[in-house]
Chain A
């Protein structure tokens, strides 16, 4: 307590120092006067009285010094002094300061930008109370190679778990799906969730308005309550505070709004706009449906129970269930993990972020090297200043501290500016997070949070140390007297003096070459993808999807068929439309798959049947998309139910299964195990290949079936317009609603957009990587330019002598270029060697990443770095060439 009080008052002692000094002087003066008076009273002469008083007092200045040190906090005072001095020094050379701060700001800003994306995506937590205690229970099957313990859960398993598991305070289930909502607004297809009545209780989250579901509200007949997301509430009800009690339709059924959920809850994990009670249909929980796994199951532990115990209990239950239901559950287990573990799945985006983090770390390293070499050069210029200060008694530590303070100021300024850069950078990046709903939703959660700010501060601090340590060490190593002599002599500095700077330049060059090559890989990949012929003509194409909802379509293919045919007819009637067609899945948007048997290649076991992508398309599909028909014919309106079954395959399919023969006229048995009534379908045509996503390595085989014979409830329209395609968007919606106004139309976008979105943000990767690499290259160029300029300036005198002794201009040019050339060849050589390993390294981290022409790429980037570096050398070299010997010699 006392010590704290003392420190407080010492802190206060930092201020109003002059007043306090005066006060002490007054006090001592009065002390001396009183002493003199006493001495006089004892009969001393005035002079002796004064002398004795002063002797007794001791050294006045010494006392004052001790007093001052006790009064304030010497460490802090020195620091303040250092900061003031550093400010003056930095202000004195605004050019250096600006470049150094800008360099650091670019380096730190790049890191802050990427870190905030990382922090928001990878480190995000569910927005509920006690997010770390929220558990997920999944089904697990070791036979699943991909994410064995991430399987969804069947209704029957969930109900059994709920009944048998005693370690949990609650187990809730949710079925995340897309639903058509309608009401006082145009029908819309939104992501939503059917949840058990205890869902919000297990989540431990309250609605911002209204109430969560009541127990029993997930029983059939009592289930017509719905909670809205804040986003939906604002968008569809304009944030109406009286929304509770109003009703909306979900998939055609009426639900009463009972609450609104917090904004963050709507965007967590997967975007969710509505929550309504989960009532199992016979399709979901009936006998034999234990293999239909579609639920996400959440749980919380009972107090005092450890996760390992709960895990063991779930294991026992799962083993028991597997034994009881061998037909559906053999080898299936259960896995308990925290929701955060579940969310951290190994998708490529995380690995891409990891690569980006490496890239920005390299950028920061280059920036540090750059500023460090600038500081070294500058400090050599200040050698005399430091020598004089050292000779006057400043300790080495004191000088080093002064230097580090300057670096700290630079890096703090750089960090502050870097945060501004990061704000701007993030804005630019986030506008590109638009390839699907989830990405767009995640983008709204990305921002610079306190965690990132703290990290940025830490980075700035370490940057200061990294940048300052070399100059500070150099300073404290050398003998000030020696330096003072050297500085005044004006001779060429000792060679070892510049070793560190040269090393830094070499490092910068090789790092930026590595970065540039790495970025080149992504740019190459991206460009190759965009350049790759799509196999169709995306020009003036508009697409849209409809997923039919409502009782009249349920299990009624003929109604589904007539809906889509009528809608298609409406669309085709527009004068703006050249042609239009339907497909179950858009090109570049993945595909469904189907098993099949090729005629003449019988397969004994169903499991050994080959499978391929499968599309259901309407007549005119290939013509509309301008996918070339290589052989045979397209589907026609006569390929309907009852007609002889036909199928079209693509070139990849023909190549793989009919090597050198014409497949037209041959037969396939498709999905034979599903219906006993499957018939052999005749192949009537072969079409060109179209990728399932952008950047696909090798075209996959696909089968196309006629829509009229195989109608489904979810189809996409492809419309070739005569004018700009987006101008047709509204007409398209109205055409569909003219047939059924209750249906939602989603993903109205151009074919170009579909193709671009299938890249899943690889353009961001290419742009960011390229951006970072160019920044690094620019820094490395200024680095080598700075060092050579400095060397030339230092050697002006020497060059003058050389020229006076008869050196030609080109000799001087060669002298400087040789200097730079050595650095360039070492730096670029080292960088190129490391670069050679990059394609394989990146390929190992990112699946589906293939660059074939990395040879020319590395050659190209090497050449680029070399040229930029040579240019950066040439400018100072030319300056050296133009040295006037007379001026240089008089320079002293």
Chain B
């Protein structure tokens, strides 16, 4: 009964540094998909690091929140997982994009760009709006 609430709160970071941005709800899935698309099969830790790096360390990501998001994507069939060995010969669970996941990524990226473009228009100087 409390799952919805905790899910939401988990996406937000507990960081109090102020200069870093919390991960927006819903965008985490997109970031994961994008990361897997560019990097190929990757384990959870790798995905987390990669997202941080890609954001230029501007994002404050609580690594733990990654796992429920990965589970959700896997349940929806966008990614698949498999146990394998890391570069350091450590056992790790590797995630990779499925064909459905690739399509979903395209769709979401497009939607996101559209939204961003629309928001950008609103925020741009008044003269350009005409």
Measuring CB to CB, which residues of chain A are less than 8 angstroms from any residue of chain B? 2-3, 5-6, 9-10, 23-24, 26-28, 30-31, 33-35, 37-38, 56-60, 62-63, 65-67, 69-71, 74, 395, 398
Contacts and interface: CB of A to CB of B under 8 A. Distances in A.
Interface string B1-36: 101001100100010000000000000000000000
A31 B45 contact: yes
Nearest to B104: A2
Contacts of A56: 62-63
Contacts of A28: 64, 67
B62 A58 contact: yes
Contacts of B110: none
Contacts of B49: 38
B77 A63 contact: no
A66 B6 contact: yes
Given A5-B75, A63-B64, A66-B68, A34 B10 contact: no
Given A34-B46, A66-B65, 19 more contacts: A5-B77, A27-B67, A27-B92, A28-B64, A30-B90, A30-B92, A31-B63, A34-B45, A34-B86, A34-B90, A34-B92, A35-B45, A38-B49, A56-B62, A58-B14, A58-B62, A62-B6, A69-B6, A70-B75
A10 B63 contact: no
Most buried by A among B3, B45, B65: B45
Given A5-B77, A67-B68, A26 B91 contact: yes
B45 A24 contact: no
A23 B81 CA distance: 12
B63 A57 contact: yes
B90 A33 contact: yes
B96 interface: no
A30 B91 contact: yes
B111 interface: no
B37 to A, nearest CB: 18
Contacts of A59: 64
A62 B72 CA distance: 16
B71 interface: yes
A60 B49 CA distance: 18
Contacts of A24: 67
A711 B75 CA distance: 89
A70 B7 contact: yes
B93 A57 contact: no
Contacts of B76: 2-3, 5-6
B75 to A, nearest CB: 4
Nearest to B49: A38
A33 to B, nearest CB: 6
Contacts of A26: 91, 93
A35 B86 CA distance: 12
11 contacts: A2-B76, A9-B74, A9-B75, A26-B91, A34-B45, A56-B63, A62-B10, A66-B10, A69-B68, A70-B3, A74-B3
A69 B3 contact: yes
Contacts of A66: 3, 6-7, 10, 65, 68
Nearest to A33: B90
Contacts of A57: 62-64
B93 A30 contact: yes
Interface string B87-99: 0101111000000
A58 B13 CA distance: 9
A178 B100 CA distance: 73
B87 to A, nearest CB: 9
Contacts of B72: 6, 70
A423 to B, nearest CB: 42
Interface residues of B, number: 30
Shortest 9 CB-CB distances between A and B: which pairs? A63-B64, A58-B64, A58-B62, A69-B3, A6-B75, A9-B75, A31-B45, A66-B68, A34-B45
Most buried by A among B64, B67, B77, B88: B64
A34 B43 contact: yes
A69 B14 CA distance: 21
Nearest to A53: B63
B93 A27 contact: yes
A71 B71 contact: yes
Given A5-B77, A69-B3, A74-B3, A63 B68 contact: yes
A2 B86 CA distance: 31
Contacts of A30: 43, 45, 86, 90-93
B123 to A, nearest CB: 32
A696 to B, nearest CB: 68
A67 B71 contact: yes
A70 B66 CA distance: 12
A544 to B, nearest CB: 76
Nearest to A31: B45
Contacts of A27: 44, 67, 92-93
B122 to A, nearest CB: 31
B71 A34 contact: no
A4 B27 CA distance: 22
Given A9-B75, A57-B63, A62-B10, A74 B92 contact: no
B1 A74 contact: yes
Contact of A63 (B46, B65, B74, B86): B65
A665 B92 CA distance: 120
Contacts of B43: 30-31, 34
A204 to B, nearest CB: 49
Given A67-B68, A74-B1, A34 B6 contact: no
B10 A63 contact: yes
Contacts of A5: 75-77
Contacts of A70: 3, 7, 68, 71-72, 75
A658 B96 CA distance: 109
Contacts of A395: 1
B57 to A, nearest CB: 12
B88 to A, nearest CB: 6
A9 B74 CA distance: 9
Contacts of A3: 76
Given A6-B76, A70-B72, A65 B92 contact: no
Nearest to A24: B67
Nearest to A61: B64
B59 to A, nearest CB: 12
Contacts of A65: 6
Nearest to A37: B88
Contacts of A6: 72, 75-77
A30 B68 CA distance: 16
Contact of A31 (B1, B44, B68, B75): B44
Contacts of B1: 74, 395, 398
Contacts of B74: 9
Contacts of B62: 56-58
A534 B117 CA distance: 100
A548 to B, nearest CB: 82
Contacts of B14: 58
Contacts of B10: 58, 62-63, 66
Nearest to B81: A27
Contacts of B3: 66, 69-70, 74
A322 to B, nearest CB: 73
Contact of B64 (A9, A37, A60, A71): A60
Contacts of B48: 31
A578 to B, nearest CB: 85
Given A31-B45, A34-B92, A74-B1, A62 B75 contact: no
Contacts of A38: 49
Contacts of B67: 24, 27-28, 63, 67
B103 to A, nearest CB: 11
A355 B56 CA distance: 81
B7 to A, nearest CB: 6
A546 to B, nearest CB: 79
Contacts of B71: 67, 70-71
Nearest to B7: A66
Contacts of A60: 64
A655 to B, nearest CB: 81
A27 B90 CA distance: 11
B75 A69 contact: no
